[in-house]
Structure 1
Amino acid sequence: MLDVLEAFLVSGEELHGFAVAKAAGKPTGSIYPILARLEQAGWLDSHWETEHPKEGRPRRRFYVLTSNGAQEARSVIMERRGKLPSPAVEQPRPRPEFGFLTRWTGA
């Protein structure tokens, strides 16, 4: 459960179940029961994907920490692990040195 909570704290955004499993490094079969328990406890909110998925892929259910869930998650992780996970920080893309190169690199 701690790995799942950390995945949400690090991302800072809503995640679908497979993304949570990937971020937590756990199989989906163990992730979905945890997500259900966290939602039932009021730590997560969820909603189904509203747009039509690509052919061959089922609709995804997205989960997000509630404000209370985020507070509780931080508290539990501090208690159990002694430190909070670092939030994901997007690294800036390197820019070309010469302006004319942007046309060729797509930047």
Structure 2
Amino acid sequence: MPQPLRVTAAVSKVLAAFLEDPDADRYGLDLMRSSGHPSGTLYPILLRLQNAGWVETRWEDVDPVAAGRPARRYYRLTPDGVAWARTELAALQAQLSRGLGGATKPRPA
């Protein structure tokens, strides 16, 4: 079972990107575009997710010369990672909803 992980706003954006299609293999540039994070933010998050058991990785099986680019490292949520990600994002959404609900109440005069 994966370890619980502190889900910050930055981590939640990466998890949301994965949950757009939980069965898809994603690579770094793709996740940078989806999450809006630069590589210096994204890759440490991916490493934390991998160490927690939420994400698994594999290298693309491609000939770099024939493809005209280096092999990509693909990332995918594990089945347990999908469950944890959904749970954590739902909890974060509920927390934000409660916080925003209080902020929209009229102030006493």
**Number of the residue aligned with 2:21:** 11
Q: TM-score, normalised by structure 2?
A: 0.70
3-state DSSP class of the match of 1:73? helix
Q: CA RMSD in A?
A: 1.1
Select the residue among 78, 86, 90 that pairs with 1:78: 90
Q: For 2:18, give the aligned amino acid.
A: F
3-state DSSP class of the match of 1:11? coil
**Number of the residue aligned with 1:2:** 12
Superposed CA deviations along residues 16-64 of structure 1, whole A, max 9, x for unmatched, are: 0111111001111110110011011100010011112332x32210000
Instruction: Specify which structure has the higher proportion of helix.
Output: 2
**Number of the residue aligned with 1:33:** 44
**Identity of counterpart residues, as a percentage?**
38
Whole-angstrom CA distance in 1 between matches of 2:27 and 2:85: 18
Where in structure 1 are there 5+ consecutive unaligned residues?
83-107
1:20 aligns with 2:31: yes
**How many residue pairs are counted as aligned between the two chains?**
81
Whole-angstrom CA distance in 1 between matches of 2:93 and 2:40: 24
Deviation at 1:81, TM superposition (A): 1.6
Q: TM-score, normalised by structure 1?
A: 0.71
Whole-angstrom CA distance in 1 between matches of 2:75 and 2:12: 16
Where in structure 2 are there 5+ consecutive unaligned residues?
1-10, 95-109
3-state DSSP class of the match of 1:77? helix
